[in-house]
Amino acid sequence: MCTTYSGRFYAMQRFNLSSLVFVETKGSGFDEGALNAITAARKLSGPVTAVVAGSEADVTAKAVAKIDGVSKVIIAKDAVYDHALPETNASLLKALQEKESATHIFAPHSAAGKNIMPRLAALLDSQQISDIIAVEGDDTFVRPVYAGNAIATVKTSDPIKVVTVRTTSFPAAVASDTASASEEAAPAIEATPLSKWLKEDVTKSDRPDLASAKRVVSGGRAVKSAEGFKIIYQLADKIGAGVGASRAAVDAGYCDNSLQVGQTGRIVAPELYIAIGISGAIQHLAGMKESKVIVAINKDADAPIFQIADYGLVGDLFTTIPELIEKI
């Protein structure tokens, strides 16, 4: 068991538990990872308050208020919070923590969460607890370490807990017709952005989003080229799957880096994960080994991927995949 301590000592004080959950806005919608973070927050006994910030936060808040388990939605309608810039959003969360006397602040372990929460933790002089997979108490959490090869139970003495949540480890909270959280405007704060949003280049696709897809087909270095990677897309389209890739395939330029699955990419846990031409490096396994069923296709019978696969097929992917597509 690991115990963390903040850089400053506090007098013993009893807090009533209450949680803030950061909801990343995307236009008038929001990142669905917040639904999993809300479920994690609900493991505690106190009320859950969702924080919605951005130029269209008032619209987004209407949907968030219908989520079961959310007692209040705080709305910060201001373009300064758009695109989840860390400086402004961390300052907002700090101000709201003080206003609400929140004991816990949760966010998904997403790009936005990993950007904002460390800054917030520094502002609050608390040590962040990252990528949790379970909540065992108001001060005790479980998280993977060493690329998932060990599980640590972490107990913190900080009065304010700053936590990011592995979304695949908690079910998504659901909307309810009977749920209707109260809505409240956030107080005005000084939020001077130190960085400027320029642009975002996003690959558009009609395929299921990698993070939420029930089936995922991933390709590795063995596809040999961007042209060879098309066979991955073909199989994915045939079974209605999202598309992933190993870091080796991404680094080689075979596909967009938004498809990377692994320790430094996306963490997925679909019902079916098909790994094609992927050897099974530990960094890749960290991002997909929680999948319900894993199928490995590789011409190397000794590839590490076969050690965690539920089903394995040894063969050349350029022969086996066309046959598989034809028979589906």
pLDDT digits (tens, 9 = 90+) for 217-231: 999 999 999 999 999
- Residues 25-65 have pLDDT tens digits of 998 899 999 999 999 999 998 999 999 999 999 999 999 99
The CATH number given to whatever domain includes residue 316 is 3.40.50.1220
Q: Do 174 and 83 fall into the same domain?
A: yes
Q: Lowest-pLDDT range, 51-60, 139-148, 157-166, 199-208?
A: 199-208
Q: Rounded to an integer, what distance in angstroms lies between the CA atom of residue 277 and that of residue 8?
A: 50
Q: Lowest-pLDDT range, 22-26, 58-62, 200-204?
A: 200-204
- Binding residues for FAD, by number, are 221, 246-247, 260-264, 277-284, 298
Where in the sequence is the domain holding 307, given as residue range(s)?
A: 215-327
String of DSSP letters for 15-39: ----EEEEE-EETTEE-THHHHHHH
Q: Do 145 and 235 fall into the same domain?
A: no
Q: How many domains does the chain fold into?
A: 2
The CATH number given to whatever domain includes residue 63 is 3.40.50.620
In a domain, 134, yes or no: yes
For residue 220, give the nearest of 287, 270, 169 by alpha carbon.
287
DSSP state letter for 84 = G
- Binding residues, by number, are 221, 246-247, 260-264, 277-284, 298
Boundary-marking domain end, from 135, 168, 185: 185
pLDDT at 15 over 80: no
Q: Do 44 and 176 fall into the same domain?
A: yes
Q: Where are the beta strands (DSSP E) in the chain?
A: 2-4, 19-23, 25-26, 29-30, 48-54, 72-77, 104-108, 129-132, 134-135, 140-145, 150-156, 161-165, 182-185, 215-219, 242-245, 272-276, 293-298, 311-314
In a domain, 27, yes or no: yes
Stated pTM of the model: 0.84
Q: Rounded to an integer, what distance in angstroms lies between the CA atom of residue 260 and that of residue 111?
A: 13
Q: Do 264 and 162 fall into the same domain?
A: no
For residue 50, give the nearest of 109, 106, 118 by alpha carbon.
106
